[in-house]
Amino acid sequence: MMARGLDANGAARVYILGRREKTLQSAASKAINGTIIPIVADVTSKDSLAAAAARISAESGHVDVVIANAGATSPGTYPPGSSPSNPPTIEALAEYMWSADISAFTNVAHVAVTGTYYTAAAFLPLLIKANSKANRSNPPIHPQIIATSSVASFNRTPAATLAYAAAKAGLNHLMKSLSTLLAPYGIRANVIAPGFYLSELATGAFKKIGIQGDGTQEGDFPYALVPAKRAGSEEDMVGVTLFLCGRSGAYVNGTIILSDGGRLGIQQGTY
Ligand SMILES: NC(=O)c1ccc[n+]([C@@H]2O[C@H](COP(=O)([O-])OP(=O)(O)OC[C@H]3O[C@@H](n4cnc5c(N)ncnc54)[C@H](OP(=O)(O)O)[C@@H]3O)[C@@H](O)[C@H]2O)c1
């Protein structure tokens, strides 16, 4: 959604990184202006990130925005057959928690937090070059790193998995720290925290609550899950992205923008 939105609204080049070439090519093929360029890369590999940054440096010389968007999910919170309204026994909960591999748990933070940290490190030299672009506007729109966190990072109701919520909360703080660390260099750091948006990663969650299609029509979701009674749409996500990347958001630094249709407002949260 973000890449298509940037392509449709004037970006010169939109590089998308991921491990699966076919998925990247499929996303690139939907760009109406043809500016989306796939690069096969793994954000948990320094070699892979360095190779991607070297290629982009050779082709573009700088980057205005880096979006650290990779995400992974984790072992579920509730054993099969149980839920917040039908809680498991403490023994069943302990057995279920113990059964997951440690690597499955840590991979979630590995992608969200470690991956974002090294993505930032790999692209800082290209971000700083955006500040010296000859045609920069006045006042300038400083380059930035945007990370995709989640409403789950604030949600104390364990609707998402515990590993996911903890990883995204860690990501929020990493980004706030980066905002402070990088401010003297004229590089910003901001966060988008989405609620329900249909995607490959979210398909399971949509199915579990019985949502057909992309859920973006008012009434598709019950108020008890999302006060807006629908999932986020492509326009919703592109709007937030363009705000942060463009003139309107140029004064925004160190912020977390929730785009959740009001979901957090009706859940126990720590926002
Ligand atoms: N959809 C929602 O409702 C929702 C809500 C809150 C937050 N989010 C967050 O939004 C972000 C985007 O997710 P999405 O919902 O759009 O799902 P998605 O389409 O499945 O996107 C997740 C992407 O992460 C990439 N990825 C995972 N591990 C990677 C790695 N090691 N290196 C490089 N890329 C990696 C995947 O590509 P490969 O597998 O090909 O590498 C995939 O393209 C995630 O951070 C997610 O946590 C989504």
Cα(260)–Cα(19) distance, integer angstroms? 28
**Is the CB of 196 inside a 6 Å radius of any atom of ligand 1?**
yes
| Residue 10 and residue 114 in one domain | no
| Residue 112 and residue 164 in one domain | yes
Average pLDDT, the chain: 95
| Mutation to probe ligand 1, out of 151, 201, 258, 260 (largest number of atoms < 8 A from CB) | 201
Q: How far is the CA of 144 from the centre of ligand 1 (A)?
A: 20
How many C-beta atoms lie closer than 10 Å to residue 214's C-beta? 17
| Residue 2 and residue 24 in one domain | yes
pLDDT at residue 260 in the model: 98
| Residue 51 and residue 63 in one domain | yes
**Is the CB of 111 inside a 6 Å radius of any atom of ligand 1?**
yes
Residue 227 lies in a domain: no
Exposed, middle or buried, 132 (CB in 10 Å: 0-12/13-18/19+)? exposed
pLDDT at residue 60 in the model: 97
Instruction: Indicate which atom in ligand 1 lies nearest the CA of residue 70.
Output: 24
Residue 224 lies in a domain: no
Are residues 64 and 132 in contact, defined by beta-carbon separation less than 8 angstroms?
A: no
**Count of domains for the chain:** 2
pLDDT at residue 75 in the model: 85
Instruction: Indicate which atom in ligand 1 lies nearest the CA of residue 164.
Output: 47
pLDDT band at 136 (very low <50, low <70, confident <90, very high): confident
| Residue 240 and residue 107 in one domain | yes
pLDDT at residue 72 in the model: 96
pLDDT at residue 109 in the model: 97
Quote the percentage of the chain above a pLDDT of 90: 89
Overall average pLDDT of the 257-267 stretch: 96
| Residue 175 and residue 257 in one domain | yes
| Residue 52 and residue 22 in one domain | no
| 151-163 pLDDT, tens digit each | 999 999 887 799 9
Residue 223 lies in a domain: no
Cα(146)–Cα(191) distance, integer angstroms? 5
Residue 256 lies in a domain: yes
Residue 252 lies in a domain: yes
Give residue 10's region: left, alpha or beta (phi > 0; psi -120 to 50).
left
Residue 211 lies in a domain: no
**Is the CB of 74 inside a 6 Å radius of any atom of ligand 1?**
no
Q: How far is the CA of 198 from the centre of ligand 1 (A)?
A: 11
Residue 202 lies in a domain: no
Are residues 8 and 245 in contact, defined by beta-carbon separation less than 8 angstroms?
A: no
| Residue 119 and residue 239 in one domain | yes
| Mutation to probe ligand 1, out of 4, 19, 207, 220 (largest number of atoms < 8 A from CB) | 19
| Residue 176 and residue 253 in one domain | yes
| 18-46 pLDDT, tens digit each | 999 999 999 999 999 999 999 999 999 99
pLDDT at residue 85 in the model: 87
Q: Which residue has the higher pLDDT, 56 or 204?
A: 56
How many C-beta atoms lie closer than 10 Å to residue 235's C-beta? 11
Count helices and strands in the chain by DSSP H and E runs:
9, 6
CATH number of 91's domain: 3.40.50.720
Listed residue (51, 61, 54, 55) closest to 37, CA to CA: 55
212 has a pLDDT exceeding 90: no
| Residue 93 and residue 143 in one domain | yes
| Residue 29 and residue 127 in one domain | no
pLDDT at residue 158 in the model: 82
pLDDT band at 134 (very low <50, low <70, confident <90, very high): low
For residue 24, the enclosing domain spans 1-40
pLDDT band at 271 (very low <50, low <70, confident <90, very high): confident
**Is the CB of 123 inside a 6 Å radius of any atom of ligand 1?**
no
| Residue 18 and residue 57 in one domain | no
Among the ranges given (48-52, 129-133, 142-146, 245-249), the one the predictor scored with the smallest mean pLDDT = 129-133
Residue 203 lies in a domain: no
**Is the CB of 69 inside a 6 Å radius of any atom of ligand 1?**
yes
Percent helix / strand / coil, the chain, rounded to 5: 45, 15, 40
**Is the CB of 200 inside a 6 Å radius of any atom of ligand 1?**
yes
pLDDT at residue 84 in the model: 84
- Cβ neighbours of residue 22 closer than 8 Å, sequence gap 6 or more: none
